């Protein structure tokens, strides 16, 4: 057995297997945005899930060690933009740790200035965080939706650690 093989533990194998399994789950790509001081801030999320229709409630997950988690709390208003097939660059940008002010050139839309919404997205939700539930190294963030608008189009999808889109039948 090589030194490298000896260093791999059962926990490492489980962690890698866990990641490999969930890489097979195709997900829509969203960006969760909010104001951090006077600057646009946000992160890419593939964990967006509808929870309830009454009240309209969604959840997403965020790493507890992230700058975003540190800035979020109950009562924070967030914008959730479901990205379209042509918005891969925005997904990549919001997935990186960038300095405050790094998103000033991102085009926003919408009448509600409490929650920034990304222009050109397939749909937008404005929501107020009602609860953050720590779970492992992440937190489950429950939000009550205060506004929702769909625009339609082809979605940006993430599967097998790569971006994809749907191709309509002709």
**Cβ count within 10 A of residue 133:** 11
- Rg value, the chain, Cα: 17
Q: How many domains does the chain have?
A: 1
Q: Which of the four pLDDT bands, split at 50, 70 and 90, describes residue 4?
A: low
Q: Which of the four pLDDT bands, split at 50, 70 and 90, describes residue 170?
A: low
* Chain mean pLDDT for the chain: 91
DSSP-assigned letter for residue 87: G
Average pLDDT over every residue of 6-21: 83
- pTM, two decimals, is 0.89
Q: In what order do the strands lie in the sheet with 162-165?
A: 27-28, 156-159, 162-165
For residue 12, is it within any domain? no
For residue 47, is it within any domain? yes
Q: What is the pLDDT of residue 6?
A: 60
Greater model confidence, 170 or 147: 147
Q: Which of the four pLDDT bands, split at 50, 70 and 90, describes residue 85?
A: very high
For residue 121, is it within any domain? yes
For residue 163, is it within any domain? no
pLDDT(3) > 70: no
First to last CA, the chain: 54
Average pLDDT over every residue of 73-93: 97
For residue 1, is it within any domain? no
What's the CATH number where 122 sits? 2.30.110.10
Contact 50, 80 (CB under 8 A): no
For residue 7, is it within any domain? no
For residue 82, is it within any domain? yes
Which structural domain range is residue 37 located in?
28-158
For residue 152, is it within any domain? yes
Q: What is the pLDDT of residue 168?
A: 67
Q: What is the pLDDT of residue 63?
A: 96
DSSP-assigned letter for residue 155: B
């Amino acid at each position: 057995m090589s030194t490298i093989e000896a260093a791999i533990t059962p926990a490492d194998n489980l962690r890698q297997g866990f990641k490999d399994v969930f890489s097979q789950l195709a997900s829509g790509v969203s960006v969760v945005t909010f104001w951090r001081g006077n600057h646009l801030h946000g992160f890419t999320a593939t964990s967006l899930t509808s929870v309830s229709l009454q009240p309209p409630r969604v959840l997403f997950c965020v790493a507890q060690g992230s700058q975003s988690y540190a800035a979020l709390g109950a009562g924070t208003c967030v914008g959730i933009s479901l990205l379209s097939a042509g918005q891969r660059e925005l997904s990549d940008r919001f997935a990186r740790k960038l300095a405050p002010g790094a998103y000033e050139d991102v085009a926003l839309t919408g009448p509600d200035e409490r929650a920034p919404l990304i222009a050109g997205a397939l749909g937008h939700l404005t929501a107020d965080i009602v609860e953050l539930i720590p779970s492992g190294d992440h937190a489950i963030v429950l939000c009550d939706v205060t506004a929702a608008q769909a625009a339609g189009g082809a979605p940006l999808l993430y599967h097998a650690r790569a971006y994809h889109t749907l191709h309509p039948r002709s």
